[in-house]
Amino acid sequence: MTQTDPLDNRIIRFYQVSKHFGDSWALHDLSFDVETNEFLFITGPSGAGKSTLIKLLYMGERMSSGYAIVDGMNLTRMHRRQIPVLRRKIGVIFQDFKLIAHLNVFRNVALVMEAAGFKSRTEIRRRVEDLLELVGLADQAKAYPPTLSGGEKQRAAVARAMVGKPRIILADEPTASLDPDAAERVLRLLCAAHARGATVLITTHDRELISRFDTRVIRLQGGRQVADAAGNAGGECP
Amino acid sequence: MMDMFRRAAADFVRHRFLHGTCFLTVSLAVFIVSAFGLFLVNAGALMDAWQQGVRITAYLKSDISGQQALALADELEQKPEVASVSHVSGEEGLQWLKEQIGGQTDLLADLSENPLPDALEIRPEQGLSGADAFDALAKAVAARAEVADVEYGRNWLHRFYGVYNLFRMTAAVMAALVIVAIMFIGANTFRLILYSRQEEIEITRIIGADEEFVKYPLYLESMLLGFCGAVAGLALLYAAFLSVMPQVSPGGLLPVFQIRFLSLGWIFMILMASMFVGWVGCWFTVRRFLRI
């Protein structure tokens, strides 16, 4: 495990990272750095490699070649026992929510803390209730995911991603299956997470959404990085 | 630990249909294996009971006095392979023969003198097993100067042990095959449960759960399933045993031999084996899920 240089503000470092599945290249020679507490978009058409990039970041897949460091942890040679340690530093939000259907909203969110080894029920309850309040689901704590709307599910997923106070939040097409109002609410929550100090990385193919944020955008196409444009707002949420 | 039990119990209730199916499979598997075990245990005990009836008769030379015969009996009784030795005089032997032939005592009427020599009836120790052990004991007795001849049904004994050993070997091979088949069925049923929960396991891992957090409740569940299934299978077998026993117990098909249920040792072994099979099935599947 490599420790981050305290003077080095880069929380994510990718150097010539590639990923292939058999003969097919999903990502090719990707190199970029992300500063701590940055807010950025990864964009590109379907099949550009956005979701694969997210998977590499939380070690859902291992890279085929290259070098990557996430919050001081070297992904290149990471032992599988280290993976949970990495994942506790990252909150992940998916397009299809990935909530556990038979657990209510409270339990879905609390599971993160239980998995991280929190023993105090009081502490878990307090943090989960705070988060549910923040995402506007306090009155839905006992509801089960199948009874929620798409927007509510995604807000529950955001609460789950934030409850462990992660250093990084990865959102893979978080608004793709939501109506504009619900999408707006989810984005505001991601901005709230950013305001609390998290580095937020969002993948989307929605240009209209990106245009509303004057922030850094990395563009992928066919698995290659074709652009990396810094925003004028310096990574701030609107 | 308590949290792990709580999660395992909650999963049990949540996935009750799959667990129910798995429980039934394990119960039936345990029932079949235990029924086989019950048969083996009782067949073995029946063989042992027959074996205990084997006696070695040492016919003494005609010039051996009663005193010498008793001294030899005492000496033989000291051997560890010998349980007891009784002296049968020629007169007692003739009397016994007359009783055996019943109404045809005329056959012996023409005898001018008793042709039967004194004999020693040797009852081997219960632990003595196998035709070779009986051969060795008979040979040692026959080597004594006082002994004219030894009779112990050598051919019958060898045939008996031949059949017994064949039976034991066949039973062991069959039991092994049944156990392996049942391990596969059990393990695959546990796999089904885990496959149905693949997504849930994946999500739990993505949110930062370590392998122990995912694995241990699953191990616990699979062992609990193995245990409960085994208890039900054994209970079913006991019910079957109680209903069949009156037909085969003394007064029934086997007049002397008392059929017994599995000992506590066997029951414990079956419970442990069932839990182990559950764990193995779970372990193999979980190992596959946890690879990335």
The answer to whether the Cβ–Cβ distance between A84 and B209 falls below 8 Å is yes
The answer to whether the Cβ–Cβ distance between A164 and B206 falls below 8 Å is no
Q: Nearest by CB to B207, which of A59, A61, A160?
A: A160
Partner residues linked to A203 by β-bridges: A42, A172
- Residue carrying structure tokens 């084997």: B54
Does residue A100 belong to the interface with chain B, where contact is any CB pair within 8 Å?
yes
Does residue A138 belong to the interface with chain B, where contact is any CB pair within 8 Å?
no
pLDDT at B83: 87
**B230 closest CA partner among B22, B2, B6:** B22
* Cα distance between the two ends of chain B: 27
Residue B189 CA, chain-centre distance (Å), reads 29
pLDDT at A233: 59
CA–CA distance, A52 with A46 (Å, rounded to integer): 11
pLDDT at B34: 86
Q: Which of the residues B11, B197, B207 would you substitute to probe the A interface, choosing the one with the greatest number of A C-beta atoms within 10 Å?
A: B207
pLDDT at B43: 76
pLDDT at B257: 66
Q: Which residues contact B249 (CB under 8 A, 6 or more apart)?
A: B258, B259
Does residue B209 belong to the interface with chain A, where contact is any CB pair within 8 Å?
yes
pLDDT at A147: 96
Q: Which of the residues A51, A81, A114, A153 would you substitute to probe the B interface, choosing the one with the greatest number of B C-beta atoms within 10 Å?
A: A114
Residues of A in contact with B292 (CB under 8 A): 59-62, 80, 83
**A200 closest CA partner among A191, A209, A212, A213:** A191
pLDDT-based confidence at residue A201 (cuts at 50, 70, 90): very high
pLDDT at A236: 59
pLDDT at A51: 94
**What are B233-277's pLDDT values in tens digits?**
999 999 999 998 877 765 555 555 678 899 999 899 989 988 988
CA–CA distance, A76 with B289 (Å, rounded to integer): 21
Tokens in use for B62?
A: 């005609």
pLDDT at B7: 73
Per-residue pLDDT of chain B (292 residues; tens, 9 = 90+): 677 777 777 777 777 887 888 888 889 888 888 887 888 788 777 777 777 777 888 888 888 888 888 888 888 888 888 888 888 888 888 788 777 777 676 777 777 777 788 888 888 887 777 778 888 888 988 888 888 888 887 788 788 778 878 877 887 787 787 777 767 776 777 777 778 788 888 899 999 999 888 888 888 888 888 899 999 999 999 999 999 887 776 555 555 567 889 999 989 998 998 898 888 878 887 777 666 5
- Residue carrying structure tokens 């040797």: B122
- Residue carrying structure tokens 């299934």: B229
Q: Nearest by CB to A87, which of B14, B208, B211?
A: B208
**What are A32-61's pLDDT values in tens digits?**
999 999 999 999 999 999 999 999 999 999
Q: Nearest by CB to B206, which of A81, A92, A114?
A: A92
Average pLDDT score over chain A: 91
- Residue carrying structure tokens 């990471």: A78
User: Across the A/B interface, how many CB contacts are shorter than 8 Å?
Assistant: 51
> How far B243 CA lies from chain A's nearest CA (Å)?
44
Q: Which of the residues A87, A128, A172 would you substitute to probe the B interface, choosing the one with the greatest number of B C-beta atoms within 10 Å?
A: A87
The answer to whether the Cβ–Cβ distance between B206 and A87 falls below 8 Å is yes
| Interhelix angle B198-206/B211-248, nearest 10 degrees | 150
CA–CA distance, A171 with A169 (Å, rounded to integer): 6
pLDDT at A1: 47
Per DSSP, which regions of B54-127 are E strands? 56-60, 82-88, 119-124
Q: Please, what sign has the CA dihedral across residues B148, B151, B155, B157?
A: negative
The answer to whether the Cβ–Cβ distance between A116 and B14 falls below 8 Å is no
Q: Is the pLDDT of residue A128 over 90?
A: yes
Nearest CA in chain B to A56: B292
Q: Is the pLDDT of residue A186 over 50?
A: yes
* A149-159 mean pLDDT: 94
Per-residue DSSP letter, B152? S
Asked casually if ipTM beats, i.e. exceeds, 0.95, the reply is no
3-state secondary structure of A43: strand
3-state secondary structure of A116: coil
Residues of B in contact with A115 (CB under 8 A): 204, 207-210, 213
Nearest 5°: phi and psi at B90? -60, -40
Q: Is the pTM of this model over 0.80?
A: no
Residues of A in contact with B209 (CB under 8 A): 84, 111, 115
